[in-house]
Structure 1
Amino acid sequence: MALARLGQSTIRRLHRTLYPPPPPAGAFKDYHGAAAQSLALVRACAYGRGLASLTYNDSSVIGHRLGGPSPVHLVKVLDIVVHLNHARPMSTATASKVPVGAKKVGLKVVMMSPGIVFDPYSLRERIPFWKRWFTLSGWRRTKEDIILEMKNAYAVSRLRKKTGYTKKQFYDQALKIYKEVNTLMAQGDISSLRKMLTDRMHSTIKNELKRRQSMWHSVHWELLEPAVSIRTLRARMIGLDKNDLDKAFIQLTLEFVTKQKFEAYNSQGEVMSGDKSKEVLVKDIWVFERSLFHPGAYWRVCGRITL
């Protein structure tokens, strides 16, 4: 009898259908929670947070008269193409790819940079006094200009509060970065450039150097200090969390007017372009970025703008 019962039990096990074990109870909850948080983060990146009173009025374009700055003529700048490609969930538990500007830390994705130049600076057409104050379109334009200046002031005030920002100290640091980046570019040192550029900007510079090396074997670049002028064209704050104003990135757009020397050579050492015995006046527009919430955050170049 015992042998018969053992045989029947064995037969039932052989005919039993095998199914894979069910997923953990919190798996779907974790996935949808991470996706919702990631979507909220992406949406927040597209908008600056808050307004404040217009108090910043140093000798820069921030705080200029409502007529707008005079046109800027650029001699040497690099086009930067900006794409927002963060629409996918950012949970590493479900996504194998990490968005540009983010890094994996354990099972979390840490946003190291928004990966875009938010609200890029552009020249605004000057309008006459009578049109500004005595036409409906002029009133609309005045309102837009005031809002832009309030955004500038708010970004600078948050930066000053969180980091102790001063214009002179930042300009000295920005010029140092400007000089070092251009020097490393002239030397073709891609690896050393990484620490001073965001990931997207590093990729842009890397492609630019490849194109240059296809034409010239080497180049000579020299900056004559001090700079002729440095001024702030735009300040923007990119908030990531509407409930936490400190969780944000600051982007400052600077115009550098400097005297430089440049000369390019072929593989035989012959001059192909430029003349290092002559000084050239150059205007560049660069965008610098800094996190307000990462420990040990520092300024990096996130874009260059051409008008």
Structure 2
Amino acid sequence: MALARLGHAVTGRLRRPLHLLHPPPPPLTDHHAAVAHSFALIHESTRARGFASSPYNAGGVIGYKGQSPVYTVKVLELLLQINHTRSMSTAAQAEPPSLSKAPTPSQTSSKVPLGARKVGMKVVMMSPGFVYEPYSIREPIPFWKSSLPFPNTDPSASFQDRIVRVSSFKLNTKRWFTPSGWRRTKEDVILEMKNAYAVSRLRKKTGYTKKQFYDQAFKIYKEVNTLMARGDTPSLRKILTERMHSTIKNELKKRQSMWSSVHWELVEPAVCIRTLRARMIGLDKNDLDKAFIQLTLEFVTKQKFEAYNTKGEVVSGDKSKEVLVKDIWVFERSLFHPGAYWRVCGRITL
């Protein structure tokens, strides 16, 4: 009888559906709760399905239909998803801070994550790219007006004649007794102060002297015109700013479409060179040395010019004749770049 009952019980067990029966899991300790909490946080950031909220579909198990709380497989699936998930917020993985050293203020305040390197980019301005306050002819308004020449212009004049000329020398009513005259006087004073300030800063930083600068500017003037006559644009890049170099290239293209070649010659020395304007372009109000200086010069020279077509025939000019030419060029130099030199940044046509 006992053997019959045992066989009947085993047969009944085999006829039942297959279940993965396990004893109920023990309550989570503090350590297990911390691990589960950390997985829950990762669940929010990686969009991975949690293993404690949805049961696993065990339909692949032989002889079973339905759902069963098989959580072990879900844990493995979650770990697989976490290992293949990468955060897109940073390009470098942050290193954990050392337990023995406190974080530095730069690590706590900087927005760059730990382990990532800061790459500094230094932008250097080689030229402002424009002419600041271009020179223009202003209506001449003298401070004084006289119906006779100034007394000192004629040393042979008698004492009585000089007294008459001094008495005829009086104020210019337009400048001193009209609102427009006062405005013009104020503008003239401001312009002269700007000129003096720019020259003083240039002299302090570079040891500027008028004669030395005029000699250097005249050499640049001659070199630029010579290279333009040859059509040598690459050699012009060093003594011209980027914007001026682009302008010269366009002019040479237009000239080459009209003339095949040109002859240009400068008759030295120059007839006259004078400074029309001096300006300083500051980049930092707290650092006066971080600035550019622009000097506007007027060149009055004698030149020879002749242009030829593709057959070598003269189509314009005559190299046997000297022509008086007046040019106004703007020269620019940096006060803060090491090894800076003068370059042409513009030409002014009146």
Q: Superposition pairs for residues 96-115 of structure 1, below 5 Å?
A: 107-115=121-129
CA distance in 2 between partners of 1:186 and 1:231 (Å)? 25
In structure 1, the residue matched to 2:74 is: 8
In structure 1, the residue matched to 2:136 is: 122
In structure 2, the residue matched to 1:189 is: 232
Q: Superposition pairs for residues 54-73 of structure 1, below 5 Å?
A: none
* Alpha-carbon offset, residue 108 of structure 1: 1.7
In structure 1, the residue matched to 2:177 is: 134
Asked which structure has the greater CA Rg, the reply is 2
Identify the range of structure 1 (178-187 vs 129-138) with the bigger mean alpha-carbon deviation.
Answer: 129-138
CA distance in 1 between partners of 2:76 and 2:327 (Å)? 81
* Residue 159 (structure 1) aligned with residue 202 (structure 2): yes
CA distance in 2 between partners of 1:232 and 1:285 (Å)? 10
* Alpha-carbon offset, residue 266 of structure 1: 0.7
* Residue 168 (structure 1) aligned with residue 211 (structure 2): yes
* Alpha-carbon offset, residue 20 of structure 1: 4.4
In structure 2, the residue matched to 1:241 is: 284
SS state at 1:109 partner: coil
In structure 2, the residue matched to 1:177 is: 220
Distance change >3 Å, CA 130–CA 27, structure 1 → 2: farther
In structure 2, the residue matched to 1:269 is: 312
Distance change >3 Å, CA 210–CA 20, structure 1 → 2: farther
In structure 2, the residue matched to 1:251 is: 294
In structure 2, the residue matched to 1:70 is: none
In structure 2, the residue matched to 1:22 is: 89
Supply the RMSD in Å over aligned alpha carbons. Answer: 2.2
CA distance in 2 between partners of 1:150 and 1:261 (Å)? 39
TM-score by length of 2: 0.62
CA distance in 2 between partners of 1:144 and 1:27 (Å)? 51
CA distance in 2 between partners of 1:277 and 1:208 (Å)? 25
Deviations 1:84-143 (A, max 9, x none): xxxxxxxxx8xxxxxxxxxxxx72211000011011111111236210011111011100
Seq. identity, % = 79
Deviations 1:263-285 (A, max 9, x none): 01011100111110100000000
* Alpha-carbon offset, residue 300 of structure 1: 0.2
Q: Which amino acid aligns with 2:296?
A: T
CA distance in 2 between partners of 1:132 and 1:19 (Å)? 77
Deviations 1:252-271 (A, max 9, x none): 00000000000010111001
* Alpha-carbon offset, residue 10 of structure 1: 3.3
Q: Which amino acid aligns with 1:10?
A: L
After TM superposition, what 4+ stretches of structure 1 lie above 3 angstroms from structure 2?
A: 13-20
TM-score by length of 1: 0.70
Unpaired runs of 5+ residues, structure 2, are 1-21, 23-69, 92-109, 114-118, 143-171
CA distance in 1 between partners of 2:238 and 2:72 (Å)? 70
In structure 1, the residue matched to 2:31 is: none
* Alpha-carbon offset, residue 23 of structure 1: 4.0
* Alpha-carbon offset, residue 9 of structure 1: 2.4
Unpaired runs of 5+ residues, structure 1, are 29-92, 94-105
